[in-house]
A and B are shown apart, each in its own frame.
Chain A
Amino acid sequence: MLTRRLIAGWPGMLFLLALAAAAVLVPFANLALPPSSPWHVPTHLVVLVGKWLCYALLAIALDLVWGYCGILSLGHGAFFGLGGYAMGMYLMRQIGTRGVYGHPELPDFMVFLNWKELPWYWWGFDQFWFAALMVLLVPGLLAFVFGWFAFRSRVTGVYLSIITQALTFALMLAFFRNDMGFGGNNGLTDFREILGFAVRDQGTRAALFAATCIALAGGFLLARWIVTSRYGLVLVAVRDAESRTRFLGYRVDRYKLFVFVVSAMMAGVAGALYVPQVGIINPGEFAPTNSIEAVIWVAVGGRGTLVGAALGAVVVNAFKTWMTGAMPEVWLFALGALFVLVTLFLPKGILGTLGAIRWRRRPPPADAPALATEQGR
Chain B
Amino acid sequence: MFSVLRGLALLFALVVAALPTAGRAQVSFDLPAVLAALAGDDYSAKGAAMETMAQSGDARAAAALKALADGRLFLRRADQKVVVAATPSGGALTDAATGEAAGSASDRDLEAVNLNNRLRRLLSGLVGSLTLTAGTRDERLAAADALFKQRDAAALGPLNAAIAQEKDPDVRRAMETARAAIVLTSDRPEAERVAAAAVVGARSDREALGLLLGAANGAPPAVAAAAREAAATIQRHLAMLDYAQNLYYGLSLGAVLLLAAVGLAVTFGVMGVINMAHGEMVMLGAYTTFVVQELFRAHAPGLLDYALFVALPVAFLFTAAVGAALERSVIRWLYGRPLETLLATWGLSLVIQQAVRSVFGPTNREVSNPSWMSGAVDFYGLTLTWSRLWIIVFAILVFVLLLVVLRRTAFGLQMRAVTQNRPMASSMGIRTHRVDAMTFALGSGVAGIAGVALSQIDNVSPNLGQAYIIDSFMVVVFGGVGNLWGTLAGALTLGVANKILEPMAGAVLGKIIILVLIILFIQRRPRGLFALRGRAVEA
Bound together, the chains give a CA A347 to CA B358 distance in angstroms of 30
Residues of A within 8 A of B349 (CB): 336
A347 engages B509 (CB within 8 Å)? no
A158 engages B508 (CB within 8 Å)? no
| Closest chain A CB from B512 CB (angstroms) | 5
Residue on B with the closest CB to A174?
B512
Bound together, the chains give a CA A189 to CA B515 distance in angstroms of 28
A344 engages B519 (CB within 8 Å)? no
| Closest chain B CB from A113 CB (angstroms) | 16
Verify if A161 is at the interface (C-beta below 8 Å from B): yes
B354, B474, B509: the one within 8 Å of A166 (CB)? B474
A-B pairs, 8 with minimum CB distance = A339-B347, A336-B350, A336-B351, A332-B354, A170-B515, A149-B523, A336-B347, A343-B344
B526 engages A169 (CB within 8 Å)? no
Bound together, the chains give a CA A336 to CA B277 distance in angstroms of 11
B337, B470, B508, B538: the one within 8 Å of A288 (CB)? B470
Verify if A337 is at the interface (C-beta below 8 Å from B): yes
Verify if A329 is at the interface (C-beta below 8 Å from B): yes
Bound together, the chains give a CA A105 to CA B272 distance in angstroms of 53
A170 engages B347 (CB within 8 Å)? no
Name 29 interchain pairs, CB-CB below 8 A, sorted by A. A149-B523, A150-B523, A152-B523, A153-B526, A159-B526, A159-B527, A161-B339, A163-B477, A165-B470, A166-B519, A169-B470, A169-B515, A295-B343, A329-B354, A329-B358, A332-B351, A332-B354, A332-B357, A335-B347, A335-B350, A336-B347, A336-B348, A337-B351, A339-B347, A340-B347, A340-B348, A343-B344, A344-B333, A347-B340
Verify if A8 is at the interface (C-beta below 8 Å from B): no
Bound together, the chains give a CA A177 to CA B512 distance in angstroms of 11
* With contact pairs A154-B526, A336-B354 given, residues A299 and B343 touching in the complex (Cβ less than 8 Å): yes
A153 engages B519 (CB within 8 Å)? no
Residue on B with the closest CB to A177?
B508
Residue on B with the closest CB to A151?
B523
* With contact pairs A163-B519, A166-B515, A243-B538 given, residues A343 and B526 touching in the complex (Cβ less than 8 Å): no
A158 engages B339 (CB within 8 Å)? yes
B347 engages A157 (CB within 8 Å)? no
Bound together, the chains give a CA A304 to CA B527 distance in angstroms of 28
Verify if A167 is at the interface (C-beta below 8 Å from B): yes
Bound together, the chains give a CA A170 to CA B517 distance in angstroms of 11
B-contact bits for A344-355, CB 8 A (1 contact / 0 none): 100100000000
Residues of B within 8 A of A292 (CB): 343, 346
B518 engages A166 (CB within 8 Å)? yes
Verify if A155 is at the interface (C-beta below 8 Å from B): yes
Bound together, the chains give a CA A154 to CA B523 distance in angstroms of 8
A-contact bits for B308-333, CB 8 A (1 contact / 0 none): 00000000000000000000001001
Residue on A with the closest CB to B349?
A336
Verify if B532 is at the interface (C-beta below 8 Å from A): no
B340, B473, B516, B524: the one within 8 Å of A153 (CB)? B524
Interface centre among B343, B353, B354, B538 (most CB of A within 10 A): B343
Verify if B511 is at the interface (C-beta below 8 Å from A): yes
Residue on A with the closest CB to B507?
A173
| B residues at A contact (CB < 8 Å) | 272, 274, 330, 333-334, 337-344, 346-351, 353-355, 357-358, 470, 473-474, 477, 508-509, 511-512, 515-516, 518-520, 522-524, 526-527, 538
Bound together, the chains give a CA A146 to CA B358 distance in angstroms of 40
Residues of A within 8 A of B334 (CB): 343-344
| Closest chain B CB from A68 CB (angstroms) | 14
A162 engages B330 (CB within 8 Å)? no
* With contact pairs A162-B473, A163-B518, A165-B470 given, residues A344 and B508 touching in the complex (Cβ less than 8 Å): no
Bound together, the chains give a CA A158 to CA B338 distance in angstroms of 7
A338 engages B347 (CB within 8 Å)? yes
Residue on B with the closest CB to A166?
B515
Interface centre among A146, A149, A158, A342 (most CB of B within 10 A): A158
Residues of B within 8 A of A159 (CB): 477, 522, 526-527
Residues of A within 8 A of B274 (CB): 158, 161-162
| Closest chain A CB from B284 CB (angstroms) | 15
| Closest chain A CB from B494 CB (angstroms) | 12
Residues of A within 8 A of B351 (CB): 332-333, 336-337, 340
| Closest chain B CB from A11 CB (angstroms) | 23
Q: Which of A138-158 contact B (CB under 8 A)?
A: 146, 149-150, 152-158
* With contact pairs A158-B338, A166-B515 given, residues A296 and B343 touching in the complex (Cβ less than 8 Å): yes
Residue on A with the closest CB to B338?
A158
Verify if A176 is at the interface (C-beta below 8 Å from B): yes
Residues of B within 8 A of A165 (CB): 470, 473
Residues of A within 8 A of B337 (CB): 347
| Closest chain A CB from B353 CB (angstroms) | 7
* With contact pairs A158-B339, A329-B358 given, residues A339 and B350 touching in the complex (Cβ less than 8 Å): yes
B339 engages A72 (CB within 8 Å)? yes
| Closest chain A CB from B425 CB (angstroms) | 21
B338, B348, B353, B516: the one within 8 Å of A157 (CB)? B338
Residues of B within 8 A of A344 (CB): 330, 333-334, 344
Bound together, the chains give a CA A163 to CA B470 distance in angstroms of 10
Residues of A within 8 A of B519 (CB): 146, 149, 163, 166-167, 170
B-contact bits for A286-310, CB 8 A (1 contact / 0 none): 0010001001100100000000000
Residues of B within 8 A of A146 (CB): 519
| Closest chain A CB from B274 CB (angstroms) | 5
B-contact bits for A196-236, CB 8 A (1 contact / 0 none): 00000000000000000000000000000000000000000
* With contact pairs A152-B523, A177-B508, A329-B354 given, residues A166 and B470 touching in the complex (Cβ less than 8 Å): yes
B272, B340, B520, B523: the one within 8 Å of A343 (CB)? B340
Interface centre among A153, A165, A332, A335 (most CB of B within 10 A): A332
* With contact pairs A149-B520, A149-B523, A163-B522 given, residues A173 and B342 touching in the complex (Cβ less than 8 Å): no
Bound together, the chains give a CA A47 to CA B204 distance in angstroms of 65
| Closest chain B CB from A298 CB (angstroms) | 10
| Closest chain A CB from B5 CB (angstroms) | 70
A177 engages B523 (CB within 8 Å)? no
Residues of A within 8 A of B474 (CB): 162, 166
Residues of B within 8 A of A340 (CB): 330, 344, 347-348, 351
Residue on A with the closest CB to B333?
A344
B477 engages A176 (CB within 8 Å)? no
